[in-house]
Structure 1
Amino acid sequence: MARTSGPETREKLIRAAEEIFAAQGVDGAQTRDIVRRAGQSNPSAVQYHFGSRAGLLDAVMAGRLARTEAALAPLLEAAEATAALREPLPETTAPALRELIGALVTAEATELRDDRGRRCLRISAQLSHESGVRTRIPHPTLAGTACWRLIGRVEDALTEAGLPEALRLERLDLALTLIGAALADRARHHLDGVAPLTGEELFLADLTGTTVAFLLAAAPSPAPDPRSS
């Protein structure tokens, strides 16, 4: 059997992890199945290359994020340039949000182009609440990224819309969950060979519009005092 280098083995483990995590779930996947799928005989291969199972999962997500970042960065720059020309008025909030959410959805949807990306969408949907949005402390893989900057821009828009802090952070976190779940469901259809109900363009436009509508829904009046709960 031909020997493989450390980087090659690492990449095989990442590819195997993408398949196993997507098929069995992040919590249900077994490390031994990943090692076997990667063609490795050493049961400690994951520990050796990634330090732990969690380290391997972070590596999978870092690769997925890097691909999305390449698509998102120019879209975010364009959205920010357009926003800079607008007056920060209530009537400009919805268009600004639509551009930001549209950029995020478009970038995330690039993962639908192949099976690798589709598997990663199914994995990341299970981790959406680990982003750090509710505490404003990004997960290490998100720190300093265009994605995290976009999240901040969305919160700024929700602040302009008059949403109280607790409500806007919760909505933002739930909006990311909505986008992740919708794309993961679309990915599942592709992986299973099932024709989706709508075409790609309509699906992405509807996902963007639905998410913006959710974010801008009128706050309960009067807003409940969080200290009373």
Structure 2
Amino acid sequence: MWTVVADVGRTPRAEQVGATRQQILTTAERLFAEQGLYAVSNRQISAAAGQGNNTAVGYHFGAKADLIRAIMLRHTSRIESLRQDAVAAVAGSRDVRDWVACLVRPVTTYLASSGDPTWFARFSAQVMTDPAFRVIMAEEALTEASLRHVVDNLIALLPDMPADVREDRADMVRHLIVHVCAERERALAEGAATSRSTWDETANGLIDAITGLWTAPYTAEPGPPGP
């Protein structure tokens, strides 16, 4: 009897804490997306999230890096689930485009399903371009088993190329996905016209471009001069 009463007493507090954390995460993501990571202080986030205590962000999340990681984790589990479905649908494919689609469509599908406006794509672009925090994005990506599976299958199908060329193109692909999605998200938020009217069309354009990027010829480095 006493255990039941104690559990009931704790539940509202736990729900309040959970709601506060989610409000802080949503507010921080929006402010970071719109203003940049360093332009926004914990005090500003707390105030915008309706928290009377200016130290609420630090209390719930610790350092800014911890807050950024928590924002990433809010989204990556759902994207991972979508990518698992995409991988299952193309299992055994020998078409580069199929595996490129597994990189792109989970992201665009997630953004399309998240309502309007969204801030995650612009937030991701801010993280990717910040030397101090981009490692967080890389670390979270490496924990996604489906993403590693996609990359392994994609590399196995690519034309033979030097490792440094492959690494350069992988970096280009990451930037294309993040920044094209960020620009479309920004245009939607600002009510601006875009050449791609839906997230699905955005995905098609990205898949076309990235497939071409991965399969394009490369310029071989000249060898050492002869004697």
Could you state the TM-score of these two structures normalised by the residue count of structure 2? 0.80
**Which secondary structure state, in structure 2, belongs to the residue aligned with residue 49 of structure 1?**
helix
**Which secondary structure state, in structure 2, belongs to the residue aligned with residue 21 of structure 1?**
helix
Structure 1 residue identity aligned to 2:28: A
Aligned to 1:89: none
Matches within 5 A, 1:104-123: 104-110=103-109, 111-115=111-115, 118-123=118-123
Per-residue Cα deviation, 1:171-204 (whole angstroms, up to 9, x for no partner): 1121111111111111111111122123324332
Aligned partner (choices 92, 100, 118) of residue 82 of structure 1:
92
Is the CA contact 1:22–1:120 (under 8 Å) kept in the aligned structure 2? yes
Paired-residue identity, %? 26
Change (3 A) 1:152 1:35: farther
Is the CA contact 2:141–2:147 (under 8 Å) kept in the aligned structure 1? no
Per-residue Cα deviation, 1:92-113 (whole angstroms, up to 9, x for no partner): xxx2x21111122111102134
Per-residue Cα deviation, 1:52-110 (whole angstroms, up to 9, x for no partner): 1111111111112122112111101222x133xx4xxxxxxxx2x21111122111102
Structure 2, gaps ≥5 residues long: 1-11
Aligned to 1:164: 162
1:207 aligns with 2:206: yes
Structure 2 residue identity aligned to 1:165: A
CA distance in 1, matches of 2:50, 2:164: 48
Aligned to 2:153: 153
Count residues with an aligned counterpart.
Answer: 206
Query: RMSD of aligned C-alpha atoms?
Result: 2.6
Is the CA contact 1:21–1:123 (under 8 Å) kept in the aligned structure 2? yes
Aligned to 1:175: 173
Is the CA contact 2:42–2:58 (under 8 Å) kept in the aligned structure 1? no
Flag as ranges the 4+ runs of structure 1 deviating above 4 A: none
1:26 aligns with 2:25: no
CA distance in 2, matches of 1:114, 1:154: 28
Shift of 1:116: 6.6
Structure 1, gaps ≥5 residues long: 87-94
Matches within 5 A, 1:29-68: 29-68=40-79
Could you state the TM-score of these two structures normalised by the residue count of structure 1? 0.79
